[in-house]
Amino acid sequence: MRETIKINEIFYSIQGEGILIGIPTVFIRTQGCTLSCLWCDAVYARNFVNGKDMKISEIIKKVKKYPAKYVCITGGEPLLQKNVKVLISKLLKLGYNVSLETNGSVSLSGLPKSKNFLISMDVKCPSSKMEKRMDFANIKLLKKTDQMKFVLKDKKDYDYAKNSIKKYKPGCSIIFMPVGGINVKKLAANVLKDGLNVRVLIQLHKLIWGVTKEGNN
């Protein structure tokens, strides 16, 4: 059987989120997601109808056209693609630094432990309406070098994130970002007031290109 993955798009941009923010990166966006977050900024990649089945060799050939040494596999939800672990392993063998953006509802078991592989796991907050779909057992599978990301809309989300950190005690980097990705003043003030050990970050790509499809890492 051919090793294929359903792909929405492959593009070259600046990493706009998390601890790798600002690094030129090739993005591989897979098609299909089982969640329906209210503030999703990649709705066009949620359904399982669109997209193109691409052989892993074709995906890698396209990645090689760009000068970046960082590759981000995003979605949709990449872990719904049965061959995505094969793609990750092949990219790592080729010397790429690989990150995987996952929505936190699919098990992280079986993923590489390489120092050049970073898992960026979302924890969905109440405003997304998807918080009950999280697999919190995943937190124990995150390496120190991975990251856990909370996208926050309001005080309810903020308190949910704060309580989740207290309850699960993740050992990786923790990212707080506002819905929309830009307006961080109030969020930053709350983090400082509460003395939280988290990173408050914007979505840099939206600051550069605005809220467009091209600005959606």
Cα distances (Å, whole numbers) of residue 119 to 8, 15, 55, 101, 137: 20, 14, 23, 6, 14
What confidence score (pLDDT) does residue 75 get?
95
Q: How confident is the model at residue 217 (pLDDT cuts 50, 70, 90)?
A: low
pTM of the model: 0.94
CA distance 31 to 12: 17
What is the pLDDT averaged over residues 166-192? 96
Q: How confident is the model at residue 210 (pLDDT cuts 50, 70, 90)?
A: confident
**E strands along 45-96, which residues?**
52-55, 70-74
CA distance 161 to 165: 6
Residue 11 burial (10 A CB sphere; 0-12, 13-18, 19+): middle
pLDDT, tens only, 82-110? 999 999 999 999 999 999 999 999 999 99
pLDDT, tens only, 55-89? 999 999 999 999 999 999 999 999 999 999 999 99
3-state secondary structure 149-190: EEEECCHHHHHHHHHHHHHHCCCCEEEEEECCCCCCHHHHHH
What confidence score (pLDDT) does residue 212 get?
55
Q: What is the DSSP letter of 144?
A: T
What confidence score (pLDDT) does residue 2 get?
74
Domains of the chain: 4-209 (3.20.20.70)
Q: Residue 12 region, left (φ>0) first, then alpha (ψ -120 to 50), else beta? A: beta
